Every structure is written in structure tokens, then in C-alpha cells.
């Protein structure tokens, strides 16, 4: 039996890994905004797309600087993640409000968040207005991970290393660290 879903359609596409978009803004500040509507798009060139509400200050900042650090925080920083999405860089200097220590980027101007598990340094290569959002397409120029948290297959999830998955609103899940291996399919 099926029934019509009573919630917003996209709740069924969550929980989702969340990135924190770091930008330089017209007000001279560095700003950070969490975004769970993100997805890898292409491997070559390495490309990621993120949907940003037209009203978010980050939309103006991306248009202003054309670059972004995409920061992946630890599950331990889930409150910070939520806090960064609860105020706007238009009104608040989030770097000083949340005492963020920054990490200089190697290929772009916006810095990353030092306590991140991973940072993707990215440049805007396209944008599409869709409904209330702007879908930004980024080419990833440099990928950096905190030592020991990932191997070539991705994060090594454990009791100590975990990433927040955004459920909805102020609710998050950690990733159940049960890794399932499937059989290889022969051609």
C-alpha cells in the first residue's frame, strides 16, 4: 500500500551530506553558509552543483567573487553547522560571531574553515536560475582532507570520524558506520 506523502517532497531526498560554502562578499567579509542541496555532477572535469536560495547573501557573494571553499565539517560540529545556517552574512560577521579559525586556500581567494574534515576549493563555471534557487556549478580545483580521516575511497567512518547528514530543519543524522560490500557484477 502507498499513500500520498504529507510533507515537502524533498524531505524524502534527505538526509544529505552538507557542505559549508565559504565566499568573499561585497561587504568585505568572508562568509560561510551550509548547503545540503549539493551534488557531484562530473568526474572530468571535477564538477559539483549547489542550489543556493536567491535571497541568501551567499548568492550575492558568489556572483561577486566567483569562487568558493566547500567545507565538510565533522558530526562533532553539527551545532556550528546549524548556527551558520541560522543567520545571514548580510547582518552578521559569522567568522567572528562563531570564532571560526580559517585556513588559507591554495587555488582560490576564499579561505576554508580550519576544523573541516575536507575542503574542496572551487570556481563558479555556470549558474542557472531555477524557481527560487540559483544552481551554481563549480569546478573543483583542489581537494584537501584532514590527515587520517579519509583514504582514496572516501571518509573512513568510525566512532571518532563521522559526518552530519541533514535531515530537515535543525535535525541531523550521523552516518551508521556499517559498511556493506556488494558483489562485483561481471559484464
**Residues near ligand FMN, by CB under 6 A:** 18, 31, 33-37, 51-53, 56-58, 81-82, 85, 87-90, 166
**Minimal distance, residue 27 CB to ligand FMN, in Å:** 10
Nearer to ligand FMN (CB atom), residue 12 or residue 184: 12
Question: What is the maximum alpha-carbon separation in the chain?
Answer: 56
Nearer to ligand FMN (CB atom), residue 35 or residue 72: 35
Nearer to ligand FMN (CB atom), residue 52 or residue 118: 52
Query: Positive or negative CA dihedral for 146, 20, 173, 80?
Result: positive
Closest residue to ligand FMN, judged by C-beta, is 85
**Minimal distance, residue 23 CB to ligand FMN, in Å:** 8
Cis peptide before 146 (omega within 30 of 0): no
The answer to whether the CB of 157 falls within 8 A of the CB of 177 is: yes
**Minimal distance, residue 134 CB to ligand FMN, in Å:** 9
Fill in the DSSP letter of residue 73. Answer: -
Nearer to ligand FMN (CB atom), residue 160 or residue 170: 170
**Minimal distance, residue 185 CB to ligand FMN, in Å:** 33
Nearer to ligand FMN (CB atom), residue 79 or residue 156: 79
Q: Which residues pair with 127 in a beta bridge?
A: 136
Amino acid at each position: 500500500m502507498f499513500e500520498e506523502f504529507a510533507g515537502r517532497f524533498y524531505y524524502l531526498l534527505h538526509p544529505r551530506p552538507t557542505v559549508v560554502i565559504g565566499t568573499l562578499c561585497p561587504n568585505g567579509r568572508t562568509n560561510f553558509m551550509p548547503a545540503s542541496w549539493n551534488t557531484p555532477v562530473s568526474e572530468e572535469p571535477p564538477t559539483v552543483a549547489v542550489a543556493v536560495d536567491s535571497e541568501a547573501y551567499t548568492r550575492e557573494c558568489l556572483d561577486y567573487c566567483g569562487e568558493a571553499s566547500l567545507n565538510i565539517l565533522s558530526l562533532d560540529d553539527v551545532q556550528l553547522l546549524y548556527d551558520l545556517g541560522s543567520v545571514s552574512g548580510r547582518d552578521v560577521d559569522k567568522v567572528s560571531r562563531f570564532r571560526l579559525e580559517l585556513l588559507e586556500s591554495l587555488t582560490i581567494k576564499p579561505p576554508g574553515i580550519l576544523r573541516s574534515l575536507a575542503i574542496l576549493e572551487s570556481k563558479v563555471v555556470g549558474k542557472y536560475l531555477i524557481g527560487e534557487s540559483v544552481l551554481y556549478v563549480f569546478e573543483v580545483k583542489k581537494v584537501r582532507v584532514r590527515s587520517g580521516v579519509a583514504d582514496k575511497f572516501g571518509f573512513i567512518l568510525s566512532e571518532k570520524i563521522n559526518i552530519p547528514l541533514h535531515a530537515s530543519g535543525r535535525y541531523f543524522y550521523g552516518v551508521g558506520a556499517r559498511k556493506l560490500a556488494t558483489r562485483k557484477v561481471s559484464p
